[in-house]
Structure 1
Amino acid sequence: MPSPAPSSAPLPAGQDRAEITSRKVVGLPERLDPADDSLSAWTQRYLDLAVRGVRSAEVTAKISRHLERFGAWISGGLGHDRLSAVTVREVAAWRDHLDAAGNSGRDGTAAPMAAATVNNHLAHLSALFSWITAHAPAGLLRHGDPTKQVPPLPLPAPQPRALAAAQVRTVKNIVDRIEVFHELKGRRHRGTAARSHAHARPLRDRVIVYLLFGTGLRRAEVVGLDLDQLESADPDRLRQTKKARLTGVRGKGRTSRTVFLGRDARQALADYLQSERPGDAAASAVAGTAAVALFLSAASIAARRPDGRLSPRSINTIVGEIGRLHDAQVPEADRKLGTLRPHDARHTFAFALSQASGHNRAELERRLGHANDRYLRLYTNPPEDIAASYIEDL
């Protein structure tokens, strides 16, 4: 049954659509049949009336994907998708299925899904059934909300992921020499002036790594930055000033904060803005699209977005490559990083900030854009070598 169009009735004066939907009081279009017993139909109504236009496009896509997985689980297991047939047993079985085989491995075989991701699926399903409960006719959910009696999976104790001081030093050493690793090598390039691969942007990658380690920005926050958020965007002034900053950095939960830039990030930004970004920005202009993003992908990449903005996944690639270069250069096993992730840089920054600020909670909240006690406590946990030194002589 096709999903009907959302209601177009005007909102009461002074009320915001996001506020109304969050309270689950949006009325259903009058032409809907309230007795319709279809999980897929109710899911589409929920997405149309309470998610699309209220949540970001990225979050909306994730919620839709999670609910689609539950719908497939019900239809595949029961042979139909009647909403009234969804019980606590079915929800619990779906949770356990995701926990055991919710992912696909590289070879296509089933693989476990992380407990936090499973719980995220359950949270989105619970929001759906809370909305349905508020709007469904009496008797449709005869046994009540089936998600309320299904507990989330226990989460493992969060582990500190901050790099040790020696590791940070060698990472920065690699980043300082990053142009060397991008140079074309081989017999036909010997005796010629050093030249980088066409897609390589070593100056951009350098500033991104320094920004992650020096500000604690999340990867989505990095790719979401626009040039006009940088004060100042003039390379010469960046090299001289000590108060350069990024304003209006958009974080989770529609938060916004100001981020100050350290010496390494300022110098690297100045080099990037002066030498690399202008060429990639000009390519966007030729294509008829303004390059407003601070960090741009190489103009030579065929699959480049029209505006040149990087994707969050590209930050993983950049940071992961730095980690691989680091481990190839470092012989000591206890200094190797394994897989380096953007969030490792965030943890490293947060621990250093906690130490420098005397564990000032307000400063951690302000600079990290995170007020959750669980994570703020995690950020103050030291790397293992520092933790071990605390008790060495006790």
Structure 2
Amino acid sequence: MRSDEVAAKITRHVRRFIAWLTDGLGHDRLTAVTPREITAWRDHLAAAGNQAKDGTPAPMAPATVNNHLAHLSALFTWIGAHAPAGLLRHGDPTKNVAPLRLPAPTVRALTGSQVRTVKNVLDRIEDFHQLTGRRHRSTARAVHRHARPLRDRAIVHLILGTGLRRAEVVGLDLAQLDPHTPTELRRVKKARLIDVRGKGHTSRTVFLGRDTRQALADYLEHERDGDLDAKSAALFLAASSITARRPGGRLSPRSINTIVGEIGRLHDAQSGDRERDLGTLRPHDLRHTFGYLLSEASGHNRAELERRLGHANDRYLRLYTNPPDDIAAGLVEGF
């Protein structure tokens, strides 16, 4: 019932618990798992569940810790439903272990000036990937063999212009794009993505703005065909020169982080104003930006936000009605 990506994530989390528990006890001959062990594991993850770049233990984010607890709870719920009676003599050990308190959600929407400079980087993205040196001077706009600048530009414009989640982006097939030819994408004003599947079994139609249409047309015309194989149905494909790519070439959600993060790095390298620096740019920053701009344009219409952002309910919509810090600071400047 779960995607391969989610199933693999659950497996990693459960195996982390098994490894931590058996390492701590020195054996795996357990007669019971108690709330004490679950609580200790939760605290361990919060204090040292991650690994820093230098290899030393580092804290894990509270939301990630709670995600581990939820997956472990799901395992014990499954055991309680399917295993012989009496296996969990003490009941579900996760039941009375409280999740960590989450910090107040922060708005990561970009300011208007940051959006402008991000788009300026996207307009020149091919130049950043162009190979230099004497042996490349005779080749017009030669780029690194793994680089796909037109694909990356289309992905960033798509998220910034539609608010799609990274999993939704990599799950897109070319057949969902209407129209799906470069000529038609450049001509029409109502291009769309059909049946985009989101969280909570939601499905929606996503309309594409001018920048996104043009970027998709460039990618389809000049790059995508070179990465096709017999199983390629995905809209966005990994470079065929990558030997470890998936059959069909579909990108992973993590690769979207890399693509968006590189745009942020290029932005900050080009910016002469430290106040505009983005730091680590994330796909959700672009989604928040779209949500905030849509909220402003729609007069904070919650039904429109819920529909366009693909939420099953309006629980998180207040995130998108909050302005970025720079704008919020300006609102009270004259008070």
**1:13-162 maps to which residues of 2 (within 5 A)?**
54-81=1-28, 84-136=31-83, 139-162=86-109
Provide closer, same or farther for how the CA distance between residues 150 and 82 of structure 1 changes in structure 2, counting only shifts above 3 A.
farther
Give the deviation of 1:323 after TM superposition: 0.9
Give the deviation of 1:136 after TM superposition: 5.0
351, 359, 362: which one pairs with 2:303? 362
Kept in 1: contact 2:22–2:28 (CA 8 A): yes
Name the SS of the counterpart of 2:193 in structure 1. Answer: strand
Give the deviation of 1:336 after TM superposition: 0.8
- Superposed CA RMSD in Å reads 1.8
Q: Which amino acid aligns with 1:277?
A: R
Provide closer, same or farther for how the CA distance between residues 356 and 70 of structure 1 changes in structure 2, counting only shifts above 3 A.
same
Which sections of structure 2, spanning at least 5 residues, go unmatched?
none
Kept in 2: contact 1:162–1:347 (CA 8 A): yes
Query: Which segments of structure 1 move beyond 6 Å, counting only runs of 4 or more?
Result: none
Structure-1 residue corresponding to 2:214? 267
How far apart are the structure 1 equivalents of 2:99 and 2:116?
Answer: 40
Provide closer, same or farther for how the CA distance between residues 295 and 140 of structure 1 changes in structure 2, counting only shifts above 3 A.
closer
Q: Which amino acid aligns with 2:187?
A: Q
Give the deviation of 1:192 after TM superposition: 5.4
How far apart are the structure 2 equivalents of 1:80 and 1:298?
Answer: 45
Structure-2 residue corresponding to 1:342? 283
How far apart are the structure 2 equivalents of 1:146 and 1:314?
Answer: 36
Q: TM-score normalized by structure 1?
A: 0.80
- Cα deviation 1:282-330 (Å, max 9, x = unaligned): xx1xxxx232111112222232333122222221121111111111111
**1:189-268 maps to which residues of 2 (within 5 A)?**
189-190=136-137, 193-268=140-215
Give the deviation of 1:372 after TM superposition: 4.8
How far apart are the structure 2 equivalents of 1:117 and 1:101?
Answer: 12
**1:155-194 maps to which residues of 2 (within 5 A)?**
155-190=102-137, 193-194=140-141
228, 252, 257: which one pairs with 1:316? 257
How far apart are the structure 2 equivalents of 1:373 and 1:96?
Answer: 32
How far apart are the structure 1 equivalents of 2:83 and 2:231?
Answer: 47
Provide closer, same or farther for how the CA distance between residues 134 and 200 of structure 1 changes in structure 2, counting only shifts above 3 A.
closer
Provide closer, same or farther for how the CA distance between residues 83 and 129 of structure 1 changes in structure 2, counting only shifts above 3 A.
farther
How far apart are the structure 1 equivalents of 2:30 and 2:76?
Answer: 10
Name the SS of the counterpart of 1:188 in structure 2. Answer: helix
Give the deviation of 1:375 after TM superposition: 2.1
How far apart are the structure 2 equivalents of 1:291 and 1:144?
Answer: 47
Provide closer, same or farther for how the CA distance between residues 61 and 192 of structure 1 changes in structure 2, counting only shifts above 3 A.
closer
Q: Which amino acid aligns with 1:308?
A: G
Larger Rg: 1
How far apart are the structure 2 equivalents of 1:137 and 1:338?
Answer: 52
- Cα deviation 1:253-288 (Å, max 9, x = unaligned): 33221111001001111111112112222xx1xxxx
Which sections of structure 1, spanning at least 5 residues, go unmatched?
1-53
How far apart are the structure 2 equivalents of 1:304 and 1:143?
Answer: 46
Name the SS of the counterpart of 1:118 in structure 2. Answer: helix
Provide closer, same or farther for how the CA distance between residues 299 and 61 of structure 1 changes in structure 2, counting only shifts above 3 A.
closer
Which deviates the most, 362-371 or 126-135?
Answer: 126-135
Provide closer, same or farther for how the CA distance between residues 128 and 195 of structure 1 changes in structure 2, counting only shifts above 3 A.
closer
Which deviates the most, 332-341 or 132-141?
Answer: 132-141
- Cα deviation 1:170-198 (Å, max 9, x = unaligned): 00011011111111112333465332222
Provide closer, same or farther for how the CA distance between residues 83 and 257 of structure 1 changes in structure 2, counting only shifts above 3 A.
farther
Q: TM-score normalized by structure 2?
A: 0.94
- Cα deviation 1:12-32 (Å, max 9, x = unaligned): xxxxxxxxxxxxxxxxxxxxx
- Cα deviation 1:59-99 (Å, max 9, x = unaligned): 22222221222222332223444564211111111110111
Kept in 1: contact 2:200–2:311 (CA 8 A): no
Give the deviation of 1:239 after TM superposition: 0.9
Give the deviation of 1:140 after TM superposition: 4.0
How far apart are the structure 1 equivalents of 2:236 and 2:68?
Answer: 32
How far apart are the structure 2 equivalents of 1:297 and 1:138?
Answer: 48
How far apart are the structure 2 equivalents of 1:317 and 1:79?
Answer: 39
Kept in 2: contact 1:209–1:319 (CA 8 A): yes
Identity, in percent, stands at: 74
319, 326, 330: which one pairs with 1:378? 319
Aligned length: 335
Q: Which amino acid aligns with 2:69?
A: L
Are 1:297 and 2:238 an aligned pair?
yes
Q: Which amino acid aligns with 2:158?
A: L
Name the SS of the counterpart of 1:249 in structure 2. Answer: strand
